[in-house]
Structures are given as structure tokens and as C-alpha cells.
Amino acid sequence: MIELEGLTKRYGEKVAVNNLTFTVRPGIVTGFLGPNGAGKSTTMRMLLGLDNPTAGDVRIDGKRYAQLKDPLKYIGALLDAKAMHGGRSAFNHLLCLAQSNGIPRARVHEVLDTVGLTAVARKKAKGFSLGMGQRLGIAGALLGDPEILMFDEPVNGLDPEGIHWIRNLMKSLASQGRTVFVSSHLMSEMALTADHLVVIGQGRLLADMSMADFIRQNSRSYVRLRSPQRERLLDVLHQAGITVVEAGNGTLEVDGTGAERVGELAAQHQLVLHELSPQQASLEEAFMQLTAESVEYHAHADHQGPGDAAPGRAPSGGPPPGQRPGQGWGSGWQQPRKGD
Amino acid sequence: MTTPPTPQQPQAQPQQPQAPHTQAPQPQQAYAGAVAAPQGPPATAPAAPPAPAAPAPPSAWQQAMSNAYTSPIPVKRTNLGHALTSEWTKIKSVRSTVWTLSIFLILVIGIGLLAVANTQSDDYQDVPFTVPAFFGLMLGQICLITLGVLVTSSEYGTGMIRTTFTASPQRHRVLAAKILIFFTVAFVASAGSILLVGLMASGAHSGPEAGDIPWGGTVFKGALYVSLLGVLALAVGSMLRHSAGAITTMLGVVLVPAILPGFLGIWDSTQKLGEKMADYNAINSLAKIFQIDDFDSATGTSQLVLLIVLTAAAVVGAFALLEKRDV
Ligand SMILES: Nc1ncnc2c1ncn2[C@@H]1O[C@H](COP(=O)(O)OP(=O)(O)O)[C@@H](O)[C@H]1O
Ligand SMILES: [Mg+2]
């Protein structure tokens, strides 16, 4: 159980993390999605007490990280960069971590086995490939058999087999009742692993909803139409009670009605169609659109003047500008955030 | 795109802990079936005894929490002892320790033995038997400085520090353990090598011409001096977080006061300062400790006190900076 409240981090002028409030719950995999530079790693460092928040608060099971007496048994974390001394062997790296938390030496062998590094346990970490380094980092995260696991871009550098392995690992860890928080910049990766999704862009919270809702709302299927008799077609569809959206370039988009029905209607009224095609917006597209808007929003914010920053607590509650109402993303923002 | 199993996940809940996460346990169920082999320890993982499907709003929160994973590994409150064991493993499992200490021992013992072989008994009339170790120590102190710097700064250079502080959020405890372990290692190595050289010299030259100067104190003071210099380096490494920068700084601390007095002597106004520097620089301090100055009965105590004060100040600074800074 991780709770963030109004978490904010500034590096000089740059706001890396902007007033994040959300909760990471046990028993599910929570995906933390955002493009590069969105502030995912910074957020995770603040969760671990490595960076001090400019404003706001993080609690692990109600406690500050620094108050944890046996942190490795609470949280296991894989950070994005190789956070280890390359000159130390894999075994010794894990051993010194284990010792710092009073974890028995036998457990080091166990986790090395779990991640498949037993054969290279005595080899220096600097000779490891990116994927092996990730596995060693994951071994360190599993060391204390913690109830909370945090992975920053864990699939980076892994081969397909490794990616498959880590997906299953995360799901099974969650199924044991653990809290699993994993970041990625790839929507497709998240769609395969996460049950719940937190999306950030430019440090701001853009969405916080279940994966199922996200998919339902964003893998919108619709019918695309083009016709030289556009006005008549619009009339016909309107009379049939079908809502049409003009999508530019003379194309029309119809939601919630099958291509068959639209085609039959056109035939009845002897309308010429140049295109009648069922479409499916991909999640990746939806994600890119969402984060592009957060960039747009940022440009606006600069116009309003940079000085309006009430430390850490931007007035919240309303949807951010650039939010298209009714497009699904809103629901992440419509949730009550009275805690702010 | 393949859709994952879609748990009946409610909209995220408000942040107040009191607000029941009505359906939190459900996804757990969804996965409990979907995942074949649980990884991790085979432990008695309380992997979701199927929660009642009917949502029971008031107790759902507690239910979610009681279903949360608990490890079979017993929870221990960590203490300084854990940090010391960990730092001991760290210091002995990297090459830089082996290299710096080997070179240190070769310099002190090697040069010491050469000096023993090229001296006569009457050379020890006015000086203690440990004097041959002095020549090696002058160079060898650079090794301890390097090791001291690396003990802290290499963690920052490699990113290891993030892992370290994640495992031990009590940062002051980590630094304290580093200082204690490093000081012990440095003191044992330097005292051991000085003692060895002293024993060789007294064994080879214990003729009647040799004086009867007690030399036990020089072993202690000499080792203390170079070990403290190493601790100073460790503290500087922790503050600067950069190996090359910290080593350069420490070389400055050792060399500048040894070189500058020559220039400061030119002007009247700086002459006093120059004399003090000449008196208290690291090289001369060691010379005093080993009683090489003929007419001086002082045995380097005030030089040692100055280094203790300086080191203490740097250590205090390192602790003060440690807690506040981002890593
Ligand atoms: N130590 C730092 N000093 C200055 N800027 C930083 C620092 N760490 C991160 N940033 C900036 O904060 C933003 C967020 O970075 P990061 O958290 O690494 O993003 P992500 O992990 O989502 O890719 C970036 O613009 C990055 O340049
Ligand atoms: Mg990152």
C-alpha cells in the first residue's frame, strides 16, 4: 500500500513531478505509464526516500520510508539505472544488501536461483549484459520477500524470454497479495501486465483508472465514412438517430453503430459511399494523444506566468485544460480528490 | 492487441484510508487462477483464499489488507551491527581495497626493510626503531587517502548508493559503519606494518650503540595519524561524491601545506603562516611523530590533535550534508 499526496518535485525551474495524488493498492499490478522524462523515476526515488519532495507526502503502509526499520522486507525496488558497484560479484552485491537488513545468507542463493543468475553468481556485475543487470536488480528487490515491489522500466534490455518471465513474475507476485508498482513508457507493455493504470505526463497525473476501464474507453471502435453526398448522408444518419462526428478531411465517424447498418441505410437512400470502414483506435495512439496534450497544457501554463505556484499544491479538482470531455480520459480526473 | 484478463476493477478510490476499496480483493482472485507457478519463495503465501464475491463494504478495506502478503522471513529491527557486517562485506569485496592496501603494505614494509638493511645500530641512537617505516608512510598515506575516498564516493559514482540507502534509509548509520570499518582496516594495516618494521629494526640493530628510545607510542601515533587522514578523505568523498575531485582535494590538503611555506617565507606578513604550515603539514607531522627532528622533544601530539579536530569537523560536515541531499 503506497499513498502519494500532492507529491511535487522541482529541480530549479523544472517541475519534474507536479502534485501527484494516487494510491497503489495490494493484490494487483499497478502500471505507472508516461513518456520519457515524465517524472516516473523521480516519483519512485521519492517513494524510496532517496529524493526529498519539494512538497507533498508519500506513505508506505502509513509510514514514511525513513521510519521503516526493516525496509527490504517492506519494499523491494529495481531502479532504472544499474544501481550497483560493477566491481562486486553478483553474490557479494546481494550479500551486503542482505546483511544490512539481517536477512540470512541462504536467501541470497534463493533469489539468485529465482532470477536465473546462479551460474554467474561469482562474476563481476560490470561484465553483465543489460538484461543480466536487470535480473540482478530484481534479485535484490526480491531479497527481503517484501510485500511491496517497485520496478522502474524492468523490461529495458531484456530479451523476449526475459520479458515474458518478468511479466509472469509480476503477476504472480501480485496474486500473492503483494503490491506491485511498475513503470514503463510503453502502453503495449502495460496493457499486458497491469490491472490498474496511472498515467503521468510532464509530472502531472493524467489518468488513474483500471486497465479494463482504460481499454473500454480508449480502444474506441467506430465506422469511418466518406461520401460525395455528405450533406444528404448526414441528414439520413441524423434521421435514423445515429450520431456522427466530423473528423476533418471530409470524413465522418460513427460511434456505436455497425458498418452493416450504416451501409444498408446508405443503400436504401441510394447514397454513394467512397469509404465505409470499421476502425479501432489503438491504446498506443490514445496514450500518445493523452501525453501530447500534457505538453500542450504546459505551454499554456507558462503563458499564465510561472510565478503563480502556490508551493506544491496547485489548485486541483478540476480537469486540466486540454482535456476533451467525454473522451474517456476525464474519468481519471472526475474522481473525487477531496484529500488534496 | 491482446487484452489482459480484465479484473472488475472499480474506479480508483478517493485517498482517505477510511474509504473502502470496495472490490480490491477481486483482481487478486482473477489472477490467482491465471498464474500457474507463483515465483518467489514457496512460502506459505496466503495466495487469495477465494474472497467472498459479495462485496461487504464496511469490512472490505480490512479484508484487502489482511489478504496482503506477509513474508515468512522473520522481521528484525536493523541496527548498527547489520550495517557494520554489510560494510565489511562491501570493503573486502572490491578490487580497489586489495590494490590500495597491497601497495600501502609494500611501500611501508618494503621501503622499511630497505632502510633497516642500510642502517647500523648507531643510527638508532637518537631515534626509535620504527623510523624506517616513516619513509614508506610518507608515500603510503596516499593509498589510505585513496581508499578512504573510494569507500564513499565510489557508491555515488556507480549508483550503488541508491541501493544502499533504499536498504538502509538510516543514512547516518551507513556513514558511521563506513567510518568504523574503514578506520579499523586502515589502523590495523598501518599499525601492523609499522610494528613489523619496528620489530625488524630492533631485531637487526639491537646492539649497545642503539639508544633506548621507547617506540611503542610511535606505532600507535603513526598509525592513528595516517588512518585519520584516511577518515578525513572518506568524509570529503562523502561530501563531494566524486572520486577524482575528492582525491585531488586530499592531495591538496597533504601537499600544499608542505610546499607553500617556501613561498610564504618571502613576505614578512605571511611568514608566520608559512611557519605554521611547515610545522603542521602531513609530512612534517609524521616526522615529528617518529622523532626525526633532532632538537625537538615534541612527539607530534599537537599535530595529531590538529588532525583529529580537522577530521572531526569534516565528519560532522559529512553527516550534516548526508540527510538532506538527494541521491
Ligand atoms: N537530478 C535531477 N536534476 C535535474 N533534473 C532532473 C533530475 N532528475 C530528473 N530530472 C528531470 O526531471 C524530469 C523527469 O525525469 P525522470 O523522473 O527521470 O523521468 P522518467 O523516469 O519518467 O523518464 C526530466 O525532465 C529530467 O530531466
Ligand atoms: Mg526513468
For residues A233 and A191, state if they share a domain.
no
Domain count, chain A: 2
The answer to whether the CB of A141 falls within 8 A of the CB of A76 is yes
For residues A48 and A182, state if they share a domain.
yes
Give the SS3 label for residue A229.
coil
End-to-end CA distance of chain A: 19
Give the SS3 label for residue A145.
coil
What cell was used for A179? 503490491
Return mean pLDDT, chain B. 81
Helix axes B282-289, B216-240, angle to 10 degrees: 160
- Per-residue pLDDT tens digits for A43-64: 999 999 999 999 999 999 899 9
- Per the DSSP assignment, residues forming a β-bridge with A221 are A280
What is the pLDDT confidence band of residue B22, given thresholds at 50, 70 and 90? very low
User: Percentage of chain B surpassing pLDDT 70?
Assistant: 77
Q: A96 and B89 in contact by Cβ < 8 A?
A: yes
d(CA B176, CA A269): 85
- Per-residue pLDDT tens digits for B267-276: 888 888 888 8
- Answer whether residue B24 shows pLDDT above 70: no
d(CA A143, CA A252): 56
Instruction: Name the residue facing A85 among B2, B94, B166 (closest C-beta).
Output: B94
Kindly give, in sequence order, each residue whose CB lies less than 8 Å from that of residue A78, ignoring residues fewer than 6 positions away: A134, A137, A138, A140, A141, A150, A151, A152, A154
Query: Which residue from A193, A197, A215 is spatially nearest to A206, judged by alpha carbons?
Result: A197
Residues of B in contact with A147 (CB under 8 A): 68-71
Q: 3-state secondary structure string, chain B?
A: CCCCCCCCCCCCCCCCCCCCCCCCHHHHHHHHHHCCCCCCCCCCCCCCCCCCCCCCHHHHHHHHHHCCCCCCCCCCCCCHHHHHHHHHHHHHCCHHHHHHHHHHHHHHHHHHHHHHHCCCHHHHCCCCCCHHHHHHHHHHHHHHHHHHHHHHHHHHHHCHHHHHHHHCCCHHHHHHHHHHHHHHHHHHHHHHHHHHHHHHHHHHCCCCCCCCCCCHHHHHHHHHHHHHHHHHHHHHHHHHCCHHHHHHHHHHHHHHHHHCHHHHCCCHHHHHHHHHHHHHCHHHHHHHHCCCCCCCCCCCHHHHHHHHHHHHHHHHHHHHHHHHCCC
Q: B12 and A95 in contact by Cβ < 8 A?
A: no
The domain boundary residue, chosen from A216, A233, A264: A216
According to the model, what pLDDT value does residue A214 have? 85
For residues A155 and A250, state if they share a domain.
no
d(CA A30, CA A196): 5
Q: Position A60: which residue type?
A: I
Query: Which residue from B180, B173, B181 is spatially nearest to B79, judged by alpha carbons?
Result: B173
For strand A29-33 and strand A55-60, is the pairing parallel, antiparallel, or unpaired?
unpaired
Query: Which residue from B299, B123, B116, B141 is spatially nearest to B226, judged by alpha carbons?
Result: B141
According to the model, what pLDDT value does residue A334 have? 36
Mean pLDDT of B308-319: 97
Place of cell 500518445: A288
Q: Which of residues 146-205 of A touch B (CB under 8 A)?
A: 146-147, 168-169, 171-179, 188, 191-196
DSSP assignment string, A8-41: EEEETTEEEEEEEEEEE-TTSEEEEE--TTSSHH
R_g (Cα) of chain A, nearest Å: 24
For residues A157 and A82, state if they share a domain.
yes
Measured between alpha carbons, how far is residue B11 from residues A28, A252, B88 in Å? 14, 32, 49
- Per-residue pLDDT tens digits for B240-292: 999 999 999 999 999 999 888 888 888 888 888 888 888 899 998 999 999 88
What one-character DSSP code corresponds to residue A168? H
What cell was used for B71? 513474508
Query: Which residue from A158, A161, A215, A216 is spatially nearest to A182, judged by alpha carbons?
Result: A158
For residues A163 and A177, state if they share a domain.
yes
pTM over 0.80? The answer is: no
Instruction: Name the residue facing B9 among A69, A84, A210 (closest C-beta).
Output: A210
Q: Which residue has the higher pLDDT, B242 or B2?
A: B242
Nearest chain B residue to A188 by CA: give it. Answer: B1
For strand A148-152 and strand A75-78, is the pairing parallel, antiparallel, or unpaired?
parallel
Write out the residue range of the structural domain in which residue A125 sits.
2-216
- Answer whether residue A321 shows pLDDT above 60: no
Helix axes B268-280, B282-289, angle to 10 degrees: 50
* Helix/strand/coil percentages in chain A, nearest 5: 40, 25, 35
- Per the DSSP assignment, residues forming a β-bridge with A75 are A148
Looking at CA atoms only, how far is residue B297 from chain A in angstroms?
47
Query: Which residue from B246, B230, B219 is spatially nearest to B154, judged by alpha carbons?
Result: B246
d(CA B20, CA B60): 6
The answer to whether the CB of B187 falls within 8 A of the CB of B224 is yes
The domain boundary residue, chosen from A185, A216, A247: A216
What cell was used for A185? 513508457
Interchain contact A5–B (C-beta under 8 A)? yes
Give the SS3 label for residue A260.
helix
Return mean pLDDT, chain A. 84
Q: Which residue has the higher pLDDT, B23 or B105?
A: B105
Identify how many contiguous H helices and E strands chain A contains and give both numbers: 12, 13
- Per-residue pLDDT tens digits for B28-56: 333 333 333 334 444 444 434 444 444 43
List phi, psi (to 5°) of B262. Answer: -60, -40
For residues A27 and A159, state if they share a domain.
yes
For residues A24 and A163, state if they share a domain.
yes
For residues A42 and A127, state if they share a domain.
yes
For residues A122 and A33, state if they share a domain.
yes
CA B266 to chain centre: 40
- Per-residue pLDDT tens digits for A153-198: 999 888 999 999 999 999 999 999 999 999 999 988 898 899 999 9
Burial class (CB in 10 A: 0-12, 13-18, 19+), B268: exposed
According to the model, what pLDDT value does residue B210 have? 79
Q: Which of residues 54-93 of B touch A (CB under 8 A)?
A: 64-65, 67-73, 75-78, 82-83, 85-87, 89-90, 93
The domain boundary residue, chosen from A216, A246, A263: A216
For residues A120 and A240, state if they share a domain.
no
Distance from Cα B154 to the centre of ligand 1, integer Å: 22
DSSP H/E element including A225: strand A221-226
Q: A48 and B40 in contact by Cβ < 8 A?
A: no
Q: B12 and A97 in contact by Cβ < 8 A?
A: no
Burial class (CB in 10 A: 0-12, 13-18, 19+), A206: buried
- Per-residue pLDDT tens digits for A267-289: 999 999 999 998 877 777 778 77
According to the model, what pLDDT value does residue B186 have? 98
According to the model, what pLDDT value does residue B184 have? 98
Please state the atom number of ligand 1 nearest to the C-alpha of residue A43: 17
- Answer whether residue A290 shows pLDDT above 80: no
What is the pLDDT confidence band of residue B296, given thresholds at 50, 70 and 90? low
How many other CB atoms are there within 10 angstroms of residue B264's CB atom? 18
Nearest 10 degrees: CA dihedral of B242, B243, B249, B251? 180
Our mutation pick for probing the ligand 1 site, out of A10, A14, A183, counting the most ligand atoms within 8 A of Cβ, is A14
Kindly give, in sequence order, each residue whose CB lies less than 8 Å from that of residue B212, ignoring residues fewer than 6 positions away: none
